[in-house]
Every structure is written in structure tokens, then in C-alpha cells.
Structure 1
Amino acid sequence: MQRPTSNPHAEIVRRDTISLRTIVKYDPMAPRLTTPILVGKFVVARKPLADSVHTLYMIMDGRDVVRTQISWPSETDCEGATRAAASARIATVRALAEAPKSSKKGWQARPMRVKEAA
């Protein structure tokens, strides 16, 4: 008869997860990756933060940085950030279109007076 073990899941081998007692040595001098990654259909640039174990993830919309965050972004994070940036762009264009068209206002409309020295 076999003796029951204290950890019943010890004999199960899985390659897609990390064990609870896994020890990983962190080398602060090791170079960290800076290549952009794809999250769904969105491009995310990454930048290691100096003197920290964290990496800054920058969600890109074309060449523009839409949002930055420390945690790994999900596809819904990327989608929400690009939608927010697009709506902000549309609001800016609308505000500029509704602005008055006069090019000179206030003090610029009046010619400057120059006092002559007597």
C-alpha cells in the first residue's frame, strides 16, 4: 500500500505553467528585450526601466504612443486605448473646425504706435 503524499499534485507534470516553488535568479546586468511585440493586431513597444525590474509597455497607434503601462497589456487594453485616442483626435478636429476663422484678434488687430523721441 502506498503512503499518501503531502502534495497530491506533485506527480503531475505540466509544461505550460510554473511550479509554486520555482526560484528564478534575477540578473540586473543582463540585457532586457526592447523589441516591439504584437498583442492581437496591436503593436506594443517595450522599454526596460533603469534601476528597476519593471518594463514600460507603450501601446502604439501608428507612430503615436497611445498609452503606457507597467503590466503586460491585454488586447482589450490596446483596443480601449486606441479607441480613446481616436475619439480625442475627432474631438480636437471638431473643436478646431468650430473655432472662429479670424486670424487677428485683440492686440494683434491694432497697429502698434511708436513714440518718436523729441
Structure 2
Amino acid sequence: MPDNPVNYGIQQSGGVSQVGNQAVGPGAYAVGGGLTASGPADLTALLTGLVEVLDRHRGHLPPPARALAADLRAELTGPQPAPPARIRTLLQDLAEAAAPVTPVAVAVAEVLRAWQGS
């Protein structure tokens, strides 16, 4: 252990904290999802944005999340409209599988929030 260890921890006492993006320590980075919706009409744009985020971070996703992302893309771009329940299930599964990749997790959460509100 070094003589002068650096504590990159976070302390809070009292109050309320809402953190959107946060990174701590050497090499850490935080990236926001950048997806917001104001109503059901924005859902298509959110899904398009999610696909872009998935493409950007594909190399960081664990294999199960990559497979779910491919399934979601196929459902969204297929010749027949995908059943809403299928899209919701894929989004929920992707949220869990992509949790280690913050930008993807944030983007999926925003789409799910909009999906549930539509």
C-alpha cells in the first residue's frame, strides 16, 4: 500500500443528491445518455438514439448485451412491426445486461421510461 493513498470516494451528509453522470478516480469517465422524451411521439427518436448509442459502445458490451442489441435492432428494422410487448421485454433484458456500460444503461433507461409513459 502506498504511503499516501488517495481516496477517490464520495461522501455526503444529509440532504438529497441526484447524480446524472459521475466518474471518480484515474481513468474514470462519465458519459450521459443524452436521450430525453417529452411524449410518445418522441419514442421513435429515442429508439433511433438508443441504436446509435449501442453502435458506439458495442465493443464495451458483454456478449449477452450484444446479442440483445442485435435482437432489438432486428425487431425495430424488420418488415413487420414488432409487438410492443416484445420490444419492452428486449429493453428490460438489455437494461440488465448492459448495466456495466453506463451510456448504454442510461439510454435504455430513458427509452424504457418513455415506453412505459406512452
TM-score (norm 2): 0.24
Whose Rg is larger? Answer: 1
**Which structure's relative contact order is higher, taking Cα pairs within 8 Å and 6+ residues apart?**
2
Give the structure with the higher percent helix: 2
TM-score (norm 1): 0.24
